[in-house]
Amino acid sequence: MTRDDLHLHVRGESSFIDDLPSPAGTLHAAVLGSPVARGAITRLDVAAALRCADVERVLTAADIPGENQIGAILPDEPLLAAGTVHHVGQPVAVVLARTAAAARRARREIGLEIAEARPVLDPREAAAKGQLLQPARTFAIGDVEAAWGQCAHVVTGRVDSGAQEHFYLETQGALAVPLENGTLRVHSATQSPTGVQKVVARVLGLPMHAIEVDVRRLGGAFGGKEDQATPWAVMCALGCVVTGRPVRLTLDRHDDLRMTGKRHPYSSDYRIGVDAEGRILAYEVTFYQNSGSAADLSTSILERSLFHATGSYAIANVRATGLACRTNLPPFTAFRGFGGPQAMFVLEAAIAAAARRLGVPAREVQRRNLLREGTVFPFGMVAEDCRAQRCWDEADRRYGFSALAAAAAAHNAAHAATKKGVAVMPVCFGISFTNTALNQARALVHVYQDGSVNVSTGAVEMGQGVNLKLRKIVAETLGIGLARVRVESTSTGRVANTSPTAASTGADMNGAAARMACLQILHRLRPLAAARLGSDTCAGASADVAWSQLVQAAYLARIDLSAHAHYATPDLAFDRAKEKGRPFAYHVYGAAVTEVTLDCLRGTATVDAVRVVHDLGRSLDLATDLGQVEGALAQGLGWMLLEEARYDDRGRLLHDTAGKYKVPDVRFAPATVDVAFLADADNARAVLGSKAVGEPPFMYGIGAYFALREAILAARPDLDPEVVAPLTPERTLMWLAAAPAPVVPA
Ligand code: LUZ
Ligand code: MOS
């Protein structure tokens, strides 16, 4: 009986990288990271470390046989620092020892001296100095300059959002094992097995066929292992070829927090213009993305910010500009939403400011400007099968926006020590990798002689339930019981050229490929089934016993019981020269209403309720999808209200232990989370009518920021608090205690 991951998890039976047994002779790695954010290495002496007990080797850039380069998009990131360092924690050397403790002890004996230079930490300063990863990109539609004159109100403002730690439970890690004939197997906790394979090949100077990357599952990833699982796997592989022995590395939490990138902080300027009825006539925004010290996926993430600059709204005149600013912080990276949340947060702040100027609730401005069927996005795509209004109206009908707002107002009139706020957050999120080439997937399906089925795809299970969805797709397509279907680990040897499991597309694309492979096998079985069973179908529960007989007969008749299939998401194109095209297969829609209670004395806030109507298409697995919505929401709430990742003025992370960094837990979660799924919502553009679910619900969390802001304004109507996230109790308290002099909006 094949069980799902969740059964194994609760029984403690699922294995992660650190659970894999060490082959004989395995060495353990510890990485020395730069203690300073910027400087030139003046001395690197490993002699004392080599003399430590149980130490076998210390690797530096000089040991790299191929290219010292791991950059996925731009070649700007060495595996090990050579000459200069650009962020605190940047890997400089790797100690290989017989135990992990010995490796960590010896790491302290490495003589590293650096001539320190003043780091650049602020993206606006980096932009002013011309420190950009690429020329500025601008998405535009209509004519903003002409539109300003027609606006009844034009409001400008600045919005800042902070870094967010992924806090996957399984930290970064890998185990590399040398095999015969110069080949390697790398077990890596990565969302991107092919990404690891490619970079190992590049750094070691080997052909990709010499390297197999295998991933059973991840203990969470959230984007943090889309690109940044790679260096650790490559270090292990390098250790393997240098010593001829297996090498393993698991970052401890402290190293993981300090050395790895997080969600990009953004600082943005907006200008929004509305007419007297609250129609948004023009919107202009500039995103200063804090990219960190190397490109990583930053340019791609900035691109998605531009795609989502207009959120869930139809705006005729738009100019959105994105600057990817190089700073001396660890390279920021993919995180659920991938630049979309940062962009939507700015627009919601602009709408809140415009509504305040108009003297109407923000939700009236939001409602008036919602996307409609046929709306043209600034990047040229037309909204088709647009469900923005449907989700909004359904949420309003179920939950009663005005009644919730009226209840909060009544509370506020009667209470001085606590204030309530309510906000609505509509979401529209594009599904597909913005890099069109990545929108492809493959599957390899084997049917064994007993009728059991083994499925391999490029999808990586990371707790999101993609393996269960794959099993259900295969079982439904073949017309057999779920228990017959098992999903293999994700291996570059079985399925090649995999795109990362990212962009919420894992089940969409790999599920489509798996279904196509099953259909091929069915096609071969059909004539046999017709002859044997007097039927041309093998679908249906009653066919389950017949399935075993059919498969056995097919084997004896020498019919191929395996199939490989390739799926490429259709109708995608994007022209970066024109910044126009159709980058997404479809959009996911939804609306959430959030109620918050503020304790005016303490500055603490409770998110009382988040009520959602979410568009899932036809769900592949309801429990899984509900879990995804709830998990994403919790993470979005954490980003907006709780999670603070601050760096000191020398670029050192202050929140560098699990004890210092707050993540949302079950007590932080709202007491009430209602999630209703849009009915009759089959999606023609993904497998079996489904829709992707991983990222879109993250952005419901943004509603909590503006609900809390409403509550603060109920306490202090004289204020115009700057929009900075996270809106922590400290920040809230500062506003509540601010001098009564009103801040005049610009
Ligand atoms: N990763 C990526 C992503 O490489 N491209 C994307 O467009 C994307 N979108 C969301 C999350 N990860
Ligand atoms: Mo991602 S943010 O790895 O889908």
**What's the rounded Cα separation, in Å, for the pair 611 and 598?**
19
Q: Is 225 in the pocket of ligand 1 (CB under 6 A)?
A: no
**Strand ranges (DSSP E) for 409-496?**
418-431, 440-447, 453-457, 485-487, 490-491
**pLDDT, tens digit, for every residue of 675-711?**
999 999 999 999 999 999 999 999 999 999 999 999 9
What is the average pLDDT across 231-242? 98
Comparing CA positions, the residue from 233, 212, 217 lying closest to residue 494 is 212
First-last CA distance in the chain: 65
Strand partners, 447: 453
Q: Is 429 in the pocket of ligand 1 (CB under 6 A)?
A: no
Q: What spacing in Å lies between the alpha carbon of 508 and ligand 1's midpoint?
A: 14
**pLDDT, tens digit, for every residue of 333-383?**
999 999 999 999 999 999 999 999 999 999 999 999 999 999 999 999 999
Q: How many CB atoms lie within 10 A of CB 11?
A: 9
Bond preceding residue 726 cis, omega within 30 of 0: yes
**pLDDT, tens digit, for every residue of 518-532?**
999 999 999 999 887
Measured over the CA atoms of residue 519, residue 523, residue 526 and residue 528, the dihedral's sign is negative
pTM exceeds 0.95 for this model: yes
Q: Is 55 in the pocket of ligand 1 (CB under 6 A)?
A: no
Q: How many CB atoms lie within 10 A of CB 309?
A: 30
Helix axes 506-533 and 543-556, enclosed angle (nearest 10): 80
Q: Is 435 in the pocket of ligand 1 (CB under 6 A)?
A: yes
Comparing CA positions, the residue from 704, 719, 723, 734 lying closest to residue 602 is 734
Residue type present at position 164: Q
Pocket test for ligand 1, best of 192, 263, 301 (most atoms within 8 A of CB): 301
**Strand ranges (DSSP E) for 137-210?**
137-141, 153-161, 173-178, 184-188
Q: Judge whether 81 and 91 are in contact, CB under 8 Å.
A: yes
Q: Judge whether 236 and 185 are in contact, CB under 8 Å.
A: no
Q: Judge whether 730 and 450 are in contact, CB under 8 Å.
A: no
Q: Is 223 in the pocket of ligand 2 (CB under 6 A)?
A: yes
Q: How many CB atoms lie within 10 A of CB 744?
A: 6
What does the DSSP 8-state code read for residue 369?
A: T
Proximal ligand: closest to the CA of 332 = 2
Q: Is 177 helix (H, G, I), strand (E, B) or coil?
A: strand
**pLDDT, tens digit, for every residue of 292-305?**
999 999 999 999 99
504: left (phi over 0), alpha (psi -120 to 50) or beta: left
Comparing CA positions, the residue from 125, 97, 101, 110 lying closest to residue 35 is 110
Report the chain's mean pLDDT, rounded to a whole number. Answer: 96
The pLDDT value given to residue 532: 77
Q: Judge whether 309 and 271 are in contact, CB under 8 Å.
A: no
pLDDT at residue 537 tops 60 = no
> What is the C-alpha R_g of the chain?
27
- Atom of ligand 2 minimally distant from the CA of 225: 3
The pLDDT value given to residue 494: 98
pLDDT at residue 184 tops 60 = yes
> Which residue puts its alpha carbon closest to atom 3 of ligand 2?
223
Q: What spacing in Å lies between the alpha carbon of 423 and ligand 2's midpoint?
A: 27
Q: What spacing in Å lies between the alpha carbon of 431 and ligand 1's midpoint?
A: 9
**Alpha-carbon distance values, 95 to 60, 91, 179, 384, 466 (Å):** 9, 11, 22, 55, 36
Q: Is 332 in the pocket of ligand 2 (CB under 6 A)?
A: no
**What's the rounded Cα separation, in Å, for the pair 433 and 438?**
6
Q: What spacing in Å lies between the alpha carbon of 479 and ligand 1's midpoint?
A: 33
The pLDDT value given to residue 541: 46
What is the average pLDDT across 708-719? 97
Q: What spacing in Å lies between the alpha carbon of 500 and ligand 2's midpoint?
A: 8
**What's the rounded Cα separation, in Å, for the pair 433 and 437?**
8
Q: Judge whether 58 and 95 are in contact, CB under 8 Å.
A: yes
Q: Judge whether 466 and 509 are in contact, CB under 8 Å.
A: no
The pLDDT value given to residue 530: 87
Which spans in 183-332 are helix H? 193-204, 230-243, 253-259, 298-307
pLDDT at residue 2 tops 80 = no
Residue type present at position 278: G
**What's the rounded Cα separation, in Å, for the pair 495 and 506?**
14
- Atom of ligand 2 minimally distant from the CA of 504: 4
**pLDDT, tens digit, for every residue of 93-136?**
999 999 999 999 999 999 999 999 999 999 999 999 999 999 99
719 confidence band (pLDDT: 50, 70, 90): very high
Q: Is 503 in the pocket of ligand 2 (CB under 6 A)?
A: yes
Q: Is 643 in the pocket of ligand 2 (CB under 6 A)?
A: no
pLDDT at residue 744 tops 70 = no
Residues with a known catalytic role: 695
Q: How many CB atoms lie within 10 A of CB 556?
A: 10
Write phi, then psi, for 5 (nearest 5 degrees).
Answer: -55, -35
**pLDDT, tens digit, for every residue of 127-164?**
999 999 999 999 999 999 999 999 999 999 999 999 99
> Which residue puts its alpha carbon closest to atom 4 of ligand 2?
502
Block residue for tokens 């100077």: 205
> Which residue puts its alpha carbon closest to atom 2 of ligand 1?
433
The rounded percent of the chain whose pLDDT value lies above 90 is: 95
The pLDDT value given to residue 5: 87
